[in-house]
Amino acid sequence: MTSKVRYTGDLRTVCEHIKSGDTFITDAPTDNNGLGEAFSPTDTVATGLASCILTIMGIKAKNLEIELKNSTADVTKHMASDPRRISKIEMVIMLPSSVSEKHRKILEHTAHTCPVHHSLSPDIDKEITFNWVL
């Protein structure tokens, strides 16, 4: 088992990672009757894409002996209705300017191969911008 999710009422869940015991909560967003005091379930999906991209780029960078520490991703999730769903994820990834042009191309290609990217519906527009400025 990977995780256990418990509904605690008021459109909130507590999510526990079984192996580590780490937890986080989710709330329905305020535009969908929720408290909006934590990540919504769809926020976790969009954020998971960014986390996966940075992780898979980190794995490739380690193999290339490149340091990506302190790289960041700013994520914006857009919703659609009928049915309510994620329609677009915009992401701006900030990375070190010291990386060579050759390695930038390799790392950008690698980003698009992350498992979450491949798991999301092709109907979700994924707009990913790489800024090599850190």
pTM of structure: 0.94
Check if CATH label 2.60.40.730 holds for domain 41-132. Answer: no
- Domain range summary for the chain, segments of one domain joined by +: 3-32, 41-132
Per-residue pLDDT of the chain (134 residues; tens, 9 = 90+): 999 999 999 999 999 999 999 999 999 999 999 999 999 999 999 999 999 999 999 999 999 999 999 999 999 999 999 999 999 999 999 999 999 999 999 999 999 999 999 999 999 999 999 999 98
Give burial (CB, 10 Å; 0-12/13-18/19+) of 132: middle
